[in-house]
Amino acid sequence: MIGQVCRHNRKQENGRKRKRQPDTDTVVDREPTKENFAFYIAEIFECFVDHVFDHAKVLHSAESLRQQLRSEVEEFLLAHVQQLEYNQRRSSETSNGTGYPPKTQRNYFDWVRSTSADHTSCPYSFVFWTCLISKPGRSCFANVKAKYLAQDMSRHLATMCRQYNDYGSIARNRAEGNLNSIDLKDFQSGCTPDYQETGSSGDGEPGGQKHGEALEMDRRKEDLFWLAEYERRCIDLSLAELAKECSEETMAAVRFFVRVTDLYGQIYVAKDIGIRTK
């Protein structure tokens, strides 16, 4: 469905635009029913995609930027579908005492830089922002080094944002059965054998298991925060190198985007602002 919606927009872009009539041409303002549910979801996706790709700045952007934006938007939407599947499996299999879903056994580095980072919207938003700050038909990242560094920076930024988000959302994710960074196997590599096998602290004292679980949770949170701060150092390095390839005007716009995204992650560290769904 997502791929079809994105391809449909591309056909519209190459042909005559269809004028959307909100009162007669969409169902998104009505309650979904069993009969129209698939169309309801497709219409929401189409409204979102049209809003992004029909923006005047995007329509006048370089073809390479439009292609990159379309790819990132599709990855963003697919990442949400993938995350929902992970959450459903985790919630079901954890409640049945069968552990974590097999697909989440992939290593943390791969997961956090792909599905998890794409889920944040940062990668597609950065390309959209690039369209907004570039001159018509051109990219403000004029050479291969600038393009590479800009994309590298945005991926580190998306990763950091996800890690901060997960750091502040552990309690809610546990309550809702959602997959969090600390649930992946790599975060268990520092556990003692006793804790890995039994979940106890191994001290044999009453309440020892609860104490051991608390210590283990603290260790995982510390590791997650360290990784987020590592990503911050990578962002700083990327920005320093990017500044050598871009104008001051471009760098001011890029740093503005970074600060806004970083602020969002810092808010999660201070307090989980996510909306509980369960």
pTM of the model: 0.78
pLDDT along the chain (278 residues), means of 10: 57 51 52 72 88 96 96 93 80 54 69 92 97 97 97 97 92 85 83 45 53 85 96 98 98 98 87 54
What's the pLDDT at 99? 44
SS3 letters across 236-247: HHHHHHHCCCCC
Picking from 14, 123, 37, 32, the residue whose alpha carbon sits closest to that of residue 78 is 123
What's the pLDDT at 257? 98
The pair of three-digit structure tokens given for residue 168, joined into one six-digit string: 């502040």
Q: Using CA atoms, how far apart are residues 209 and 135, in angstroms rounded to an integer?
A: 60
Q: How far is CA 215 from CA 156, 183, 211, 269, 271, in A?
A: 29, 15, 6, 19, 21
Asked if 157 and 234 count as a contact pair (C-beta separation under 8 A), the reply is no
What's the pLDDT at 82? 85
Asked if 144 and 250 count as a contact pair (C-beta separation under 8 A), the reply is no
Kindly compute the dihedral angle of the four CA atoms of residues 19, 24, 28, 34, in this order, to the nearest 10 degrees.
-130
What is the distance of C-alpha 265 from the center of its chain? 12
What's the pLDDT at 6? 63
What's the pLDDT at 264? 84
Picking from 68, 81, 251, 227, the residue whose alpha carbon sits closest to that of residue 161 is 227
Picking from 45, 36, 64, the residue whose alpha carbon sits closest to that of residue 130 is 64
What's the pLDDT at 196? 46
The pair of three-digit structure tokens given for residue 30, joined into one six-digit string: 């009505």
DSSP designation for 101: -
Q: How far is CA 166 from CA 173, 180, 218, in A?
A: 8, 6, 14
What's the pLDDT at 194? 42
